Structure 1
Amino acid sequence: MVIKVFLATSSGSTAIKKKQQDVLGFLEALKIDFAQLDIACNEENRMWMRENVPEEKKPENGIPLPPQIFNNESYCGDYDTFFDAKEDNDVYTFLGLPAPPGSKEEQEEDE
């Protein structure tokens, strides 16, 4: 399973840069393997991301902004849903990954 984080390395938006860093930093801290896919320099990545974000998850203008998170081909969510999962200690569930032994998420699953 590969977690794919679609991001824009040359975004002019400080808010987008902060959101991308938050996602990447959190995944690194949890030692979750992931791949960064740049949509600013790679048209294929941009088109794949836009085509695979579910219609109901796209903003009104129809163009989803980075970061967008996938588990292989399965859409996980955008920054807001990632943030909510992080706040609820549900990141592994959000990512479609098994919670590691001893984690808060695994303990909640056992209850």
Structure 2
Amino acid sequence: MVIKKKQQDVVRFLEANKIEFEEVDITMSEEQRQWMYKNVPPEKKPTQGNPLPPQIFNGDRYCGDYDSFFESKESNTVFSFLGLKPRLASKAEP
């Protein structure tokens, strides 16, 4: 349940900011699960077991886990975290 809540938080943020993404359900694909395990950097892997979702990638580039995402959201640096150019705030005209 905790994992699902974290995944929904990431998805809601991406949708709200109109950031294109592909959500991958690793429970449905052994190949995708193995790809994720292999592509999380060694220093980011837990001492025991496998990394838990959500793990965030931009293509093949590892961005981080949910805690890193949350920290970047709190510090308003998500675009940098995702490897994207920051968006300029647009003023709404009356």
- Aligned-residue Cα RMSD (Å) equals 1.0
The structure with the largest strand share of the pair is 1
Question: TM-score normalised to the size of structure 1?
Answer: 0.78
Aligned position for 1:106: none
Identity rate, percent? 61
Question: TM-score normalised to the size of structure 2?
Answer: 0.92
Query: Residue 79 and residue 69 in structure 1: after superposition, are their counterparts in 2 closer, same or farther (change >3 A)?
Result: same
Aligned position for 1:96: 83
User: Which consecutive unaligned segments of at least 5 residues does structure 2 have?
Assistant: none
User: Which consecutive unaligned segments of at least 5 residues does structure 1 have?
Assistant: 1-13, 104-111
Q: SS at the partner of 2:48?
A: coil
- Cα distance in 2 for partners of 1:31, 1:42 equals 26
- 4+ long deviations beyond 2 Å: none
Aligned position for 2:7: 20
Pairing partner for 2:20 from 30, 33, 57: 33
Aligned position for 2:51: 64
Is 1:48 the counterpart of 2:35 in the alignment? yes
